[in-house]
């Protein structure tokens, strides 16, 4: 099998060792005589996987029993609605910090449920940065404050968390969860679709502080209540068994790499490799995000014209580098370099970028 460097934004690259282990265990999981895909979610084998994944995630995040870990379905898009349904009571309001396409979607969905405020937005500068603290106007009585920690489409990332006082801070971390050490205690709730840094598509991780959970509405359909899933340890209905199994393997892989501090160092080095080429290209490559707000997960940039961008994507693909076309809404180039992308892949892309510029600049 030839080497392919997978720069897709999601579903995204997974660690090779994780895929190999899943392949090895696929037909016969731990000598049970059947595949994990066939097992009951009530079996002791799956319940052990579910519990181990939750404990591994808590360990990596540095939290204990004051937080609950849930494995849900519906993607982050369901969380856009499930969050306000649980925590935005009638007469209250929630604050949203709008930093890109995904933050917009979360805000728009909250407006369908109740009162939501745009407490800050960087739309005016084309979503090239996150708002400064001075530009954030918070409601002193906000039910919660919502941020999107990393915007995959625009390639911007929060590197310093906003000060929200004693208001509950909530984050969509779908595209950068476990990519760096996290002050988890600052957050009342974190949610993340798994298909970028945690595993395959099909499961969404929610990490929720118990004290925040106590304020959730109980007047909701059973499946839309976080309390239902906490009480049943994510086993109220049939969970996405194989996806959770894969998340557990990826969490184990992160621990083997040295945890979040080691992963962060690796990610910073990878991103620096690509941003260095952009910054020294004399304007041939133009990064979208302002330097202080650049994503370490999604490197977004433009070339002098769209024809060159199409040629760039075509030639890169021919060299085994796939998934580099920017999101259809903005165009350009996007290299997604999540945890499982290794330095070798970033070096290969950087070398191609330099060669392409030499031939077309």
Residues 95, 172, 253, 270: which is the catalytic one?
172
Helices (H) and strands (E) counted in the chain, each on its own, are 10, 14
Helix (H) or strand (E) holding 157: strand 156-157
Burial call 258-290: b when 16+ CB within 10 Å, e when fewer = eebeebbebbeebbebbbebbeebeebbebbbe
One domain, residues 213 and 347: no
Please indicate, yes or no, whether residues 75 and 172 belong to a single structural domain of this protein.
yes
Of residues 58, 95, 102, 176, which has the active-site annotation?
Answer: 102
Q: Which of 220, 239, 256 is the last residue of a domain?
A: 256
For residue 172, indicate whether it is catalytic: yes
Containing structural domain, residue 43 = 17-256
Are residues 276 and 156 part of one domain?
no
56 and 147 share a domain? yes
User: The domain spanning residue 308 has which CATH number?
Assistant: 3.90.1150.10
Residues 273 and 303 in one domain: yes
In order, the DSSP letters of 201-252 are TT-EEEEEEHHHHTTS-SSS-GGG-HHHHHHTTT-SS---HHHHHHHHHHHH
Residue 65, in any domain of the structure = yes
Using an 8 Å Cβ cutoff, are 186 and 157 in contact? no
231 is catalytic: no
pLDDT in tens, 8-58: 999 999 999 999 999 999 999 999 999 999 999 999 999 999 999 999 999
Report residue 88 as tokens: 């935005």
pTM flag (> 0.85): yes
Q: Of 256, 280, 314, which residue sits at a domain end?
A: 256
- Residue 147 has a pLDDT of 99
4 found inside a domain: no
Q: Do residues 232 and 302 share a domain?
A: no
- Domains identified in the chain, total number: 2
- pLDDT tens, position by position, for the chain (361 residues)? 458 999 999 999 999 999 999 999 999 999 999 999 999 999 999 999 999 999 999 999 999 999 999 999 999 999 999 999 999 999 999 999 999 999 999 999 999 999 999 999 999 999 999 999 999 999 999 999 999 999 999 999 999 999 999 999 999 999 999 999 999 999 999 999 999 999 999 999 999 999 999 999 999 999 999 999 999 999 999 999 999 999 999 999 999 999 999 999 999 999 999 999 999 999 999 999 999 999 999 999 999 999 999 999 999 999 999 999 999 989 999 999 999 999 999 999 999 999 999 999 9
Is 23 within the bounds of a domain?
yes
For the CA atoms of 111, 230, 255, 48, what is the dihedral angle to 10 degrees? -140
- Do 126 and 244 share a domain, yes or no? yes
Please indicate, yes or no, whether residues 264 and 245 belong to a single structural domain of this protein.
Answer: no
Q: What is the DSSP letter of 117?
A: E
Shared domain check, 115 and 176: yes
Domain end residue (candidates: 207, 228, 256)? 256
Tell me the torsion sign for CA atoms 24, 25, 30, 31.
negative
3 domain residue, yes or no: no
Q: Is 163 in the active site?
A: no
Verify that 68 and 31 share a domain, yes or no: yes
CATH number for the domain including 36? 3.40.640.10
Give percent helix, percent strand, percent coil of the chain, each to the nearest 5: 40, 15, 40
Cβ neighbours around 307 below 10 Å, total:
10
13-26 in b/e form (b: 16+ CB < 10 A) is bbbeebeeebeebe
Q: Does residue 117 lie within any of the structural domains?
A: yes
- Work out the widest C-alpha separation in the chain, in whole angstroms: 63
* Helix ranges (DSSP H) in 62-118: 75-87, 101-113
Tell me what the pLDDT averaged over the chain comes to.
97
Total length of the chain: 361
90 with 234, same domain?
Answer: yes
Q: Is residue 12 part of a domain?
A: no
- One domain, residues 67 and 201: yes
Catalytic residue among 95, 158, 176, 196: 196
* Cα separation, 206 vs 227, whole angstroms: 12
In whole angstroms, give the CA distance from residue 172 to residue 103.
8
């Amino acid at each position: 099998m030839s080497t392919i460097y997978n720069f897709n934004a999601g579903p995204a690259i997974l660690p090779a060792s994780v895929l190999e282990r899943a392949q090895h265990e696929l037909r016969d999981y731990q000598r049970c005589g059947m595949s994990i895909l066939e097992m009951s979610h009530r079996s002791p084998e799956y319940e052990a996987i579910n519990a181990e994944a939750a404990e591994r995630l808590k360990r990596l995040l540095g939290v204990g029993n004051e937080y609950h870990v849930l494995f849900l379905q519906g993607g982050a898009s369901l969380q856009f609605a499930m969050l306000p349904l649980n925590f935005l009571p009638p007469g209250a309001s929630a604050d949203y910090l709008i930093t890109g396409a995904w933050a917009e979607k979360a805000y728009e969905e909250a407006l369908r449920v109740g009162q939501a405020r745009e407490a800050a937005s960087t739309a005016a500068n084309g979503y090239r940065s996150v708002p400064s603290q001075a530009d954030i106007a918070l409601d002193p009585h906000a039910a919660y404050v919502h941020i999107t920690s990393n915007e995959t489409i625009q390639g911007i990332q929060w590197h310093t968390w906003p000060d929200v006082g004693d208001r509950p801070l909530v984050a969509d971390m779908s595209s950068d969860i476990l990519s760096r050490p996290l002050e988890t205690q600052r957050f009342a709730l974190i949610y993340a679709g798994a298909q970028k840094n945690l595993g395959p598509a099909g499961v969404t991780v929610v990490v929720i502080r118990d004290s925040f959970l106590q304020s959730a509405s109980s007047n909701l359909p059973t499946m839309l209540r976080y309390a239902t899933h906490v009480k049943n340890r994510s086993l109220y209905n049939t969970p996405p068994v194989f996806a959770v199994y894969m998340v557990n393997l990826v969490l184990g892989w992160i621990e083997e790499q040295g945890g979040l501090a080691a992963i962060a160092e690796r990610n910073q080095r990878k991103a620096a490799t690509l941003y260095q080429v952009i910054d020294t290209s004399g304007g041939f490559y133009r990064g979208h995000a302002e330097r202080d707000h650049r994503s370490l997960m999604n490197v977004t940039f433009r070339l002098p014209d769209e024809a060159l961008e199409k040629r760039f994507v075509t030639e890169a693909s021919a060299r085994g580098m796939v998934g580099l076309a920017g999101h259809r809404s903005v165009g350009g180039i996007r290299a997604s370099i999540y945890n499982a992308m290794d330095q070798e892949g970033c070096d290969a892309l950087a070398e191609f970028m330099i060669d392409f510029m030499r031939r077309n600049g």
